[in-house]
Structure 1
Amino acid sequence: MPQQVRGVVARSKGAPVELTDIVIPDPGPGEVVVKVAACGVCHTDLHYREGGINDEFPFLLGHEAAGTVESIGAGVDTVEVGDFVILNWRAVCGRCRACKRGRPQYCFDTFNATRKMTLTDGTELTPALGIGAFVEKTLVHAGQCTKVDPEADPAVVGLLGCGVMAGIGAAVNTGGVSRGDSVAVIGCGGVGDAAIAGAKLVGATPIIAVDRDDTKLEWARELGATHTVNAAETDPVAAIQELTGGFGADVVIEAVGRPETYEQAFYARDLAGTVVLVGVPTPDMRLEMPLIDFFSRGGALKSSWYGDCLPERDFPMLVELYRQGRLPLEKFVTERIGLDQVEQAFHTMHGGKVLRSVVVL
């Protein structure tokens, strides 16, 4: 039988979100209903509310979530009722050209649930990133559920569902950071700090954090940065070069998504170094640089999609490292809030006062 639960909806562009009744259908073939335990408040949710993703309102927001499988549809054999899972937005299809070439982390045709969650009047909802988890229960495709250690704190490990995985993966998967590499991260919000944590995890040194906010730079130090640069006071390119023997960093990760910071990242890397773009630019942004510089500096320029992660491979491993005390994921949780505090969390996010607010149900 369909269920009625409470969830957070964005009805129109820029309007405050509202907590309202949501109808969750029974899971169809290949689908599951998950009882949500916790969900992080991500910038992507704010982008949805502001119409920055698409205009398919109303949106059911939330996607960085963990919870327990409550019911399953026909043909589901990857999870069972009672499993503790992290939700993901890369449920690989196994059939697209990326999957067939052995690169499922780039899957171009990921699965989502086909049955629709609705408002009580029947209006269909668009779930954020195919998940929609600012809600007591949500309907997703079974492939969007990754089973992990049930002893883990859902408010902490749920963040692997988006921002933290994006940052760690940008360093380790996309950037290929390894022991002894010099790394610079420009932009020290949740994603940038996760990249710093990932670089520390694999033994990079030095790890240079760049931001314009001293509070964020202090967070970066706590998560593994060996040096910090306040870009409001110091030329970050010159500072990174000075801290790397005059050469530049082996890997520079741009976690802002702006032309000026990407240009800084480009010139702050060593010859044949790597630049990773994980910050999300807006469609109107443009970059103008001398083409000869791209040729003469060599190396690699990469974009990182979801940290180039494979959830079934990466989530359990990272949860285990967290459980061992080797990956301080708990430091990303700044505050725990209720479903009725999501709108206020967006304002707090704008003020740069949190790494993550996490809704706990």
Structure 2
Amino acid sequence: MPQQVQGVISRSKDAPVELVTINVPDPGPGEAVVKVQACGVCHTDLHYVQGGIGDDYPYLLGHEAAGIVESVGEGVADLEPGDYVILNWRAVCGTCRACKRGRPWYCFNTFNATQKMTLEDGTELSAALGIGAFIDKTLVAAGQCTKVDPAAEPEVAGLLGCGVMAGLGAAINTGNVGRGDSVAVIGCGGVGVAAIAGARLAGAATIIAVDIDERKLAKATELGATHTINSKDTDAVEGIQALTDGNGADVVIDAVGRPETYKQAFYARDLAGTVVLVGVPTPQMQLELPLLDVFGRGGSLKSSWYGDCLPSRDFPLLIDLYRQGRLPLDAFVTETIGIGEVDVAFEKMHGGEVLRSVVVL
């Protein structure tokens, strides 16, 4: 039977978030209901509140989540009640042109649950990134559930559902960082420091963290940066070049997503180096670069979608690395909070006080 649970919504642009009663339907064909155990508070959720992603209000917020499958709908064959899962927002279709070419991490037809969760008056909710996990139980497509080792705590495991995976994947999957490479990461929030952790995991020799906040640079050092640059005091491009024998880094990752930081990344890479954009720009941003410089410097200019991850491949592997002590996911959790404290967590995030607040249900 349909259930009524508590969840956090954004009713309109810039309105305070609200904890309200939400109707969760029984799972239909290809769907699952998941009891959420923990969900990270991500910048993407704040973008929904601020109208930076769309205007399909009201939004059910939250998406970096782990939990237990409670029930599944008709036709679900590889998932059953009791499975411990991380939720993902790129459930691959298996039939689009990217999937058929063996590149499912680029799937052009990812899908979500068909049914909608609603408010008590029947108003349909738009689930953040097709998940909506600031809630006791959520309805998702079964393909959005990735089974992992249940020994990993949910407040840690759930972070792979978005920001941490985006950063790790930007370095490992998109940037193809290899042993001995030099890497620079511009912007050391949650995604940026995850990229640093990914570069260390991949064996990079020089890992340069760039930010204007000494607290973030300290966390970057904890997670693997060999050098730091405070770009309030030092030109980022000159600083990166000085640390790489005047050449620039093999891979530069822009985890901010602004024209200014992208230009820094472009000019701070070595000839034939790689730029990876993983920070999300806003719709009005424009970029100008001399086309001759684009041609003359060679290399690759890439965008990283969700760290170009394949959840079924990457989530279990990264959880195993965490369990082996090789990936310090615990370091990303600044605090755990209750579901009624999401608005305070947004304020702390905006002020740079936390790397990740995690709602524990």
> What residue in structure 2 maps to residue 331 of structure 1?
331
The AA in structure 1 aligned to 2:208 is: I
SS for the counterpart of 2:45 is: helix
Distance in 1, matches of 2:168 and 2:307, equals 7
> What residue in structure 2 maps to residue 37 of structure 1?
37
Distance in 2, matches of 1:203 and 1:149, equals 25
The AA in structure 2 aligned to 1:292 is: L
Distance in 2, matches of 1:58 and 1:286, equals 29
> What residue in structure 2 maps to residue 167 of structure 1?
167
CA RMSD across the alignment: 0.5
Q: Deviations along 1:29-78, whole A, 9 cap, x unmatched?
A: 00000000000000000111111111110000000000000001001012
Correspondence 1:222-237 to 2 at 5 A: 222-237=222-237
Correspondence 1:64-213 to 2 at 5 A: 64-213=64-213
> By how many angstroms is 1:289 displaced?
1.7
Distance in 1, matches of 2:353 and 2:157, equals 21
Distance in 2, matches of 1:289 and 1:155, equals 41
SS for the counterpart of 2:149 is: coil
SS for the counterpart of 2:146 is: strand
TM-score normalised by the chain length of structure 2: 1.00
SS for the counterpart of 1:109 is: coil
TM-score normalised by the chain length of structure 1: 1.00
Correspondence 1:264-343 to 2 at 5 A: 264-343=264-343
Q: Deviations along 1:65-115, whole A, 9 cap, x unmatched?
A: 000000010010121110000000010001111111111000011110001
1:221 and 2:221 aligned: yes
> What residue in structure 2 maps to residue 15 of structure 1?
15
Distance in 2, matches of 1:4 and 1:65, equals 19
> What residue in structure 1 maps to residue 53 of structure 2?
53
Distance in 1, matches of 2:52 and 2:265, equals 25
SS for the counterpart of 1:57 is: coil
Unaligned runs of 5+ in 1: none
Distance in 2, matches of 1:314 and 1:100, equals 19
Unaligned runs of 5+ in 2: none
SS for the counterpart of 1:184 is: strand
Distance in 2, matches of 1:295 and 1:301, equals 11
Distance in 2, matches of 1:162 and 1:334, equals 16
1:263 and 2:263 aligned: yes
The AA in structure 2 aligned to 1:231 is: S
> By how many angstroms is 1:317 displaced?
0.1
Distance in 2, matches of 1:273 and 1:88, equals 31
The AA in structure 2 aligned to 1:359 is: V
The AA in structure 1 aligned to 2:198 is: G
The AA in structure 2 aligned to 1:174 is: T
> By how many angstroms is 1:290 displaced?
1.1
Distance in 2, matches of 1:298 and 1:64, equals 36
Distance in 2, matches of 1:168 and 1:238, equals 26
SS for the counterpart of 2:264 is: helix
> Runs of 4+ in structure 1 displaced over 6 angstroms?
none
Distance in 1, matches of 2:258 and 2:240, equals 19
The AA in structure 2 aligned to 1:39 is: C
SS for the counterpart of 1:151 is: coil
> What residue in structure 2 maps to residue 355 of structure 1?
355
- Greater Cα offset, 307-316 or 287-296: 287-296
Distance in 2, matches of 1:246 and 1:276, equals 20
> By how many angstroms is 1:205 displaced?
1.2
Distance in 1, matches of 2:287 and 2:129, equals 28
Distance in 2, matches of 1:284 and 1:23, equals 36
> By how many angstroms is 1:288 displaced?
1.5
Aligned residues: 361
